[in-house]
Chain A
Amino acid sequence: MPDADVILVIDDEPQIRRAVRDALREVTARVDEAANGTAGVDAAATGRPDLVVLDLGLPDMAGVDVCREIRRRSAVPIIVLSARHSEHEKVDLLNAGADDYVTKPFSVPELAARAKAQIRRARTFAAAGTSGPVAIGGLLVDTVNRRVSRDGTQIHLTPIEWQILATLLAAAGRTLTHQQIFDAVWGREFGSPQQYLRVHITNLRRKIELDPASPQIIITEPGVGYRVDQPR
């Protein structure tokens, strides 16, 4: 029986810490709390949590800085609690190393599901690198031989489409910002028009999704980026 997972909640509002603790009860019984950014960064370094839930609008530090500070010392998954309609903020946070975000007021099952997904993702990542074919949404992806097939039928992808799919799969369970995908596929030094990314995604979906108008593999996070859920 492995030790119980430790979740660190960084939030200046005691009521929200309480609500998050309640919401995560089915995920773990061990929830640590920090009431400000500085304490949160320290607790993330010393307490070795399996997941950090970070609320924005802390009195002492900007959320982006908290993310960066934690990320400098550890690879612990970070879920951000953010306000509605602030995509810029979300993009900045994801670029600063956050793994996912939940909009306030959050739904309890959703937060719990995302927390579980992040913990699981971190654990499988730590256990072994990805090897062998990955099955996702009826799709079989062979990352070593760069092959994609559905129901035994080979699907031909252009090099750029393959790169995008591989990038999203490697980060399965995390939302990648447009910028992060672009950097991974094109590289920072190349000045190709980033906006074509969305056209490539659309073309890629037409090849791999059953219904491209209702995609199940590559999920759009509006105004932020794209995400592939972790294969189960």
Chain B
Amino acid sequence: MSRRKSALVWSGWIVATFLATIFMAHTRGAFDQVHVVLVYLLLVLGASASGGRVLGVSLACAGFVLIDYFFQPPFGEFGVGKPLDWLALTAFLVTALVSTQLLARAQAEAEAARRRAVEVESLARLGSETLSAGRAEDALARIASVIRSTLGMAECTIVPVEPGDSAAVRASGPARIDGGSGAVQRLVIPLSVQDRVVGTLRLENATPVRLDMAQRRFLDAITYYAALAIDRVRLVAEAEHIEALREADRLKDIVLASVSHDLRTPLTTIKALAQSAAMQGNDAGAAIEEQADRLTRMVSDLLDLSRLKGGGFAAAPELNTAEDLIGAAVRQTRGLFGGRTLRTVIDLSSPALVGQFDFSQSLRVLCNLLENASRYSPPSQPIELGARRDEDALLFTVADRGPGVAEADVTRIFEPFFRARNATPDAGRAGLGLSIARTLAEIQGGTLTYSPRPGGGSVFALRLPAREVGADALEQSIDSISNG
């Protein structure tokens, strides 16, 4: 309440008491002493209701003196004739003081409740604004302005912190209001969501501002909303970023698909026509066909490279058998071996080896390994392709008697574009084979590793998740046929 307004209330009640006293003093005969006491009591209650405790107590004391002076015999002097009149005076004073006190307390509580209600309401409104409508940046600005006006600070800024940049928070100053004075001139509060600092709230004013308990509570509560709002800004930005990436990815796929289509159409024509010409005895035709094949491989390598970088390889692991995969690999690579022999090592006496893997992708891995082996292995030595169970994995091995991999290169052979030191410059491909093979193994939950072969050469080991298929499960599916 303003000072001016309270002065007005004070003087109003003093004048009212003065007028009532004059009026009752002039018509003393018409009033009983009890009526007089009641009138003063009403005045005291009214004054303390509108003017507060101090005004109430002052009027109670004034009433005590006035009753004694004007309305208790002997009239016109301080002093009490009958002892019973003391009782009346004391009763008036006690009643006036107690009711003033009670009224004041009730009013204080009502006021506190009202302020809490306002606080809760404004926090609730801010909360819903923070979490729902509008742009996240607007919500931040709104929270800052509410804090500024509520606390009477000149400056309030909310600054997001980059993830991991906790030094910025620590360097930015004291984190809490000094407990003692409660006066604040410059304040930096870290904002955190789930123990993660997401930003800071900075308050600043030219002169120190004293914050009461309610305001501090408000500040505590509102900083949480500020933290949520910052988090939302971040999430919105992230979502936009992801959307943009997805769009870019989609565009890339479209471009790659159309490039590969556009390149393949002429390649298909060139290859087919060159081959037809070659079959009619045209030597140039054979050369053209060879180069078309080379270009085709380059286009595939290019597509593979973009998939390798963009995580575009996908696997759909299914129940498959090792034998099926080996058979397909042998069939697919049989043209590669020239004079070399390919020996398959697989135990046919035990039940079929079953695993959970993507057939086509695993086939690509094996074919790549076999192709490498045939490239580096001397023609007189057989290449071995084996499959067996190794604990909870199916282990496929491709072993050759080539030069092996130099010690220094062992960790690098699976990197894109790696070329062995002893490889001829035109070994044919871009050097992506092994890195693609390893990626294909890994996306199926498998591994691809190298080890030197005892007695010289290389062993590449592809491990894929094995599965148990009980004989009863197979029997069951057989029964359904016999009965059906």
Asked whether, in the complex, the Cβ of A160 is within 8 Å of the Cβ of B481, the reply is: yes
Candidate in A16, A185, A214 with the most chain B CB atoms within 10 angstroms: A214
Contact in complex: A212, B323 (CB < 8 Å): yes
In the complex, chain B residues whose CB is within 8 Å of the CB of A219: 331
Cβ–Cβ < 8 Å partners of A57 in chain B: 261
Q: Residue of A at shortest CB range from B327?
A: A215
Indicate if A47 sits at the interface (CB-CB under 8 A). Answer: no
Partner of B319, one of A108, A163, A196: A196
Q: How far is the CA of A48 from the CA of B150 in the complex (A)?
A: 87
Q: Which of B275, B477, B481 contacts A193 (CB 8 A)?
A: B477
Interface residues on A, range: 35 or more
A220 B327 Cβ-Cβ under 8 A: yes
B284–chain A nearest beta-carbon distance, Å = 16
Q: How distant is the Cα of A106 from the Cα of B275 in the complex, in angstroms?
A: 10
User: CA separation between A186 and B484, bound complex, in Å?
Assistant: 9
A87 to B363, CA, bound (A): 13
Q: Is A136 an interface residue (CB 8 A)?
A: no
Chain B residue at minimal CB-CB distance from A224: B360
State in angstroms the CA–CA spacing of A84 and B276 once bound together. 22
Chain A residue at smallest Cβ distance from B307? A85
Residues of B within 8 Å of A198, CB to CB, are 318-321, 324
A84 close to B323 (CB less than 8 A) = no
Q: State which of A19, A163, A186 has its C-beta within 8 Å of the C-beta of B268.
A: A19
Determine if B324 and A158 form an interchain contact, defined as CB atoms under 8 angstroms apart.
no
In the complex the two chains form, is B269's CB within 8 Å of A19's CB?
yes
Would you list which residues of chain A between 2 and 24 have a CB under 8 Å from chain B? 13, 15-16, 18-20, 22-23
The CA-CA distance from A115 to B482 in the complex, in Å, is 38
Give complex CA distance A203, B478 in Å.
Answer: 13
Instruction: Give the contacting residue for B484; candidates A83, A187, A200; CB below 8 A.
Output: A187
Among residues of A, the one whose C-beta sits closest to the C-beta of B271 is A105
Q: Quick check: is B279 within 8 A (CB to CB) of the other chain?
A: yes
Query: Are A212 and B348 in contact, CB atoms less than 8 angstroms apart?
Result: yes
> From A84, which residue of chain B is reached at the shortest CB distance?
B300
Tell me whether A159 and B300 are in contact in the complex, defined as CB-CB below 8 angstroms, given that A105-B268, A105-B272 are known contacts.
no
How would you classify the secondary structure of chain B's contact residues: helix, strand, loop or mixed?
helix
Contact B480 A190 (CB under 8 A): yes
Q: Which residue of the partner chain A has the closest CB to B272?
A: A19
Question: A105–B473 Cα gap in the complex (Å)?
Answer: 42
Chain A residue at minimal CB-CB distance from B482: A159
* Least Cβ–Cβ distance between A65 and chain B, in angstroms: 19
Q: Tell me whether A16 and B268 are in contact (CB under 8 A).
A: yes
Q: Are A19 and B324 in contact (CB-based, < 8 A)? A: no
Chain A 153-170 per-residue mask, 1 if CB under 8 angstroms from chain B, else 0: 000001110010000000
Closest 10 CB pairs of A and B: A195-B319, A19-B272, A223-B360, A105-B268, A108-B275, A15-B269, A202-B321, A213-B344, A105-B271, A202-B352
Chain B residues proximal to chain A, CB less than 8 Å:
260-261, 264-273, 275-276, 279, 292-293, 296, 300, 318-321, 323-324, 326-328, 330-332, 344, 346, 348, 352, 354, 359-360, 363, 469, 473-474, 476-478, 480-482, 484
* Contact surface of A with B, Cβ cutoff 8 Å: 13, 15-16, 18-20, 22-23, 25, 57, 81, 83-85, 87, 104-109, 111, 158-160, 163, 185-187, 190, 192-193, 195-196, 198-203, 205-206, 212-215, 219-220, 222-223
- Known A-B contacts: A196-B473, A199-B474, A213-B330. Give 18 more (CB < 8 A): A23-B276, A105-B270, A159-B482, A160-B477, A186-B481, A193-B477, A198-B319, A198-B320, A198-B321, A199-B469, A201-B321, A202-B323, A202-B352, A213-B326, A214-B330, A214-B331, A215-B331, A223-B359
